[in-house]
Amino acid sequence: MAETSSPISSPAHHVPPTPPEPQPAPPSAQQPAAHTTGTRAEAASETLAGAPSEAASGTDRETGSEPQPETVPLTAEHLLTNRRAEPSGGWRRLVWQLSGKRYIPAESAAEIERRTLIAHAQTPVASGHHRIAVMSLKGGVGKTTTTAALGNTLASLRGDRVIAIDANPDRGTLGLKVKSETAATIRTMLAEAPHILRYADARAFTSQSPARLEILASDTDPAVSEAFDAEDYRTVAGLIERYYSICITDCGTGLLHGAMGATLELADQIVLVSLVAVDGANSAAATLDWLNAHGHAALAKNAIVVLNAVEPKGDVDLTLLERHFASRCRTVIRVPYDPHLKEGAEVDLTRLRPTTRGAYLRLAAAAGQSFGLHPARSR
């Protein structure tokens, strides 16, 4: 290219050399004009119209390799159409039946949640045996009913053995929550402890509910009942551990009676029951305070608080109450008022309202989240 002349023709004027003409950028660095002069929308439009996107080209930006397709498990549930779980009810079951049992509509969010809760409740017991202590400082809050309902829910969902035992130092009422099959009590099991060598021997001392929960009752006559101390509880707990995966203990209302020390020492987790009332809430909070002050802070932190017999309308701020315990414990479960439980008789899951059954399922799922742990107990 010829040099450009200066507009002033003078021999003394120095004409700078013309800079070299810029070389075109390599093809990979060239950008369409619209990317630099047009709007962002135009640029995006040209990009979409030009080279295919990463998703379309099947490449990964970081590795440059094609993503691998998702692996489908080669299980009967995935491969065989006749193995897929049929809808349990509602409109999904109706559609399934009208389609000649060929089409299964997608599950709703509620059904997915229920299936997830059931899976938590069915968690295998990693340690081989798991102990749950159901506690309350205040009587009449539904502690024994909670023990029976939680036990029935777990037993109905699991394939292993679940037992609930009455560790009240006085007259306990857990035996009233199931149809009695034997007159034996926890005291008679203690007397026959050396002769209990197999599951059938232990089963002779329990009564079983329709949901397969076994209950080991205490003496119902205060005139013949004897004090149940820590050593008694350890003996019974040792027997129960041989033949059952889960043991739920219905504790007394005191924290200082003999059996309570051993109960807390052996417990893997606790369920703290309270009514939605000022005195009940204060008693539950005091229980947590006592646990933290007496070497059981881990149990208190991992505790499940049950707000029992929740009415649709009430003067107590339920949200504030729930927030208080949620800040101190692992979780809080609301159990609504249910006429069947108000009867104070045998607990039958089929007679509970759906919302109540759902609440106990959430309680069982919350308890099940600890079944997979290996607690380090000090014997």
Q: Helices 143-157 and 354-368, interaxial angle, to 10°?
A: 80
Picking from 218, 127, 220, 203, the residue whose alpha carbon sits closest to that of residue 163 is: 203
Picking from 294, 290, 291, 229, the residue whose alpha carbon sits closest to that of residue 258 is: 229
Q: What is the pLDDT of residue 143?
A: 94
Query: Pairing state of beta strands 269-275 and 130-135?
Result: parallel
Could you please report the per-residue DSSP string of 207-274? EE-TT--EEE---S-TTT-----HHHHHHHHHHHHHH-SEEEEE--S-SSSHHHHHHHHH-SEEEEEE
* R_g of the chain, CA atoms, integer Å: 34
Query: Which residue in this structure is represented by tokens 């135009």?
Result: 42
Annotated domain spans of the chain:
76-106, 117-368
Tens of pLDDT along the chain (379 residues) come to: 444 444 433 344 444 455 555 555 544 444 444 433 444 444 444 433 344 444 444 444 555 556 666 676 777 766 666 666 777 777 888 988 898 888 888 888 888 899 999 999 999 999 999 999 999 988 889 999 999 999 999 999 999 999 999 988 777 899 999 999 999 999 899 999 999 999 999 999 999 999 999 999 988 766 555 667 889 999 999 999 999 999 999 998 878 777 899 999 999 999 999 999 999 999 999 999 999 999 999 999 999 999 999 998 888 999 999 999 999 999 999 999 999 999 989 999 999 999 999 999 999 999 999 999 876 554 4
Q: Please, what CATH class does the domain formed by 117-368 belong to?
A: alpha beta
Contact between 122 and 157 under an 8 Å Cβ cutoff? The reply is: yes
This prediction has a pTM of 0.76
Picking from 244, 243, 249, 245, the residue whose alpha carbon sits closest to that of residue 262 is: 249
Q: What is d(CA 162, CA 132) in angstroms, rounded to the nearest whole number? A: 11
Query: Which residue in this structure is represented by tokens 């050399």?
Result: 17
As to burial, measured by CB atoms within 10 angstroms (0-12 exposed, 13-18 middle, 19+ buried), residue 347 is: buried
